[in-house]
């Protein structure tokens, strides 16, 4: 299916980019991204993925919109308080770009179900707020060989990584964080978080999900972006593959 006249107008600023063009925009229209968490990271990511014309979005979150969310989760408005986040986000996507198909899953990801949720995705963007969910999603992405874009924020710091651990020279998420799902974690309510920083990290996560669907520029897998908003400093580190990693260190068939 070719791009319509409306598509050519809506996505004109993408299409004139030599690295994307009509072929890239068509690939985005045919792509499917799963977004885990519709909170601080997911909120801007969902908006930019929809605006970019990613054809199918699966949104996964079991939370409800709270007044305290609105400081950073800009996909929601005051009238959404009390609504399921995935339903409110789906409504916002329909208003922004009605050509995008949205699958809203009002549930928490756990265990084996993660693999089923992302089975046919072209990329999974994880902005969840707990380590157990991140590990479940990461393991599923590795098993299904789906590129994983993982982003996190706390206070004035953010981090972003892209993981394709099934490749011989690329780390998986467990190469980076280890394996302990019960380690202590502080919440946004306890630590605080700069709202605008979640917008930065969510937008960058959307960029990497788009790059996973239609590659352009340098490959970002195996790198970790660290953002320090207090110093306005961005650093990129190389992440080596852990040859002893129990998830990806053993050669897979």
The domains of the chain are located at 15-238
Catalytic positions are 188
Structure tokens at 138: 């990461």
Q: What architecture is domain 15-238? A: 3-Layer(aba) Sandwich (3.40)
E strand residue ranges, the chain: 32-36, 56-60, 101-105, 123-126, 148-154, 157-163, 223-228, 233-238
Residue 58 burial (C-beta neighbours within 10 Å; 0-12, 13-18, 19+)? buried
pLDDT for 253 equals 47
What pLDDT shows up at residue 69? 96
Hey, is 52 helix, strand or coil? helix
Confidence (pLDDT) at 149: 98
| CA-only gyration radius of the chain, Å | 18
Give the CA angle between residues 126, 220, 57 to the nearest 5°. 35
- CA separation for the pair 244, 85 (Å, rounded): 39
pLDDT of residue 57: 98
> Which tokens hold the place of 156?
């004035």
CB atoms within 10 A of CB 64: 15
233-238 and 223-228 beta bridge pairing: antiparallel
Q: How many residues can be counted in the chain?
A: 253
DSSP, collapsed to helix, strand or coil, labels residue 229 as: coil
Question: In a structure prediction context, what are the per-residue pLDDT tens digits for the chain, which is 253 residues long?
Answer: 789 999 999 999 999 999 999 999 999 999 999 999 999 999 999 999 999 999 999 999 999 999 999 999 999 999 999 999 999 999 999 999 999 999 999 999 987 889 999 999 999 999 998 888 999 999 999 999 999 999 999 999 999 999 999 999 999 999 999 866 555 566 666 788 999 999 999 999 999 999 999 999 999 999 999 999 999 999 999 999 998 998 998 654 4
**Bridge partners (DSSP) listed for residue 221:** 162
What CA–CA distance (Å, rounded) separates 77 from 194? 18
Task: Report the alpha-carbon distance of residue 102 to residue 87 in Å, rounded.
Answer: 10
pTM of the full predicted structure?
0.94
> Which tokens in the block code for residue 169?
């020279």
Q: Say what the pLDDT of residue 185 is.
A: 62
- The whole-number pLDDT of residue 190 equals 73
152's torsion region: left (phi>0), alpha (psi -120 to 50) or beta? beta
In terms of C-beta density within 10 A (0-12 exposed, 13-18 middle, 19 or more buried), how is residue 115 classed? middle
pLDDT at 111: 77
């Amino acid at each position: 299916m070719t791009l319509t006249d409306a598509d050519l107008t809506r996505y004109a600023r993408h299409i004139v980019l030599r690295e994307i063009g009509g072929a890239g925009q068509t690939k985005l229209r045919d792509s499917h991204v799963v977004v885990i968490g519709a909170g601080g990271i997911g909120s801007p990511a969902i908006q930019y993925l929809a605006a970019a014309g990613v054809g199918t979005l699966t949104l996964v979150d079991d939370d409800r919109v709270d007044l305290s969310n609105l400081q950073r989760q800009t996909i929601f408005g005051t009238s959404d308080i009390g609504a399921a986040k995935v339903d409110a986000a789906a409504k916002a996507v329909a208003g922004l770009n009605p050509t995008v198909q949205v699958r809203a899953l009002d549930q928490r990801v756990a265990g084996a179900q993660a693999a089923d949720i992302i089975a046919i995705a072209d990329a999974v963007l994880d902005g969840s707020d707990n380590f157990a969910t991140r590990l479940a999603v990461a393991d599923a992405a590795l098993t299904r060989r789906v590129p994983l874009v993982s982003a996190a924020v706390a206070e004035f710091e953010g981090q972003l990584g892209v993981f394709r651990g099934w490749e011989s020279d690329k780390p998986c998420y467990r190469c980076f964080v280890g394996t302990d799902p019960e380690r202590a974690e502080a919440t946004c309510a306890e630590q605080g978080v700069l709202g605008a920083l979640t917008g930065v990290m969510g937008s960058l996560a959307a960029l990497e999900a788009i790059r996973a669907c239609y590659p352009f520029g340098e490959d970002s897998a195996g790198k970790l972006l660290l953002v320090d908003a207090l110093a306005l400093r961005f650093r990129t580190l190389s992440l080596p593959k852990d040859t002893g990693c129990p998830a990806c260190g053993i050669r897979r068939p």
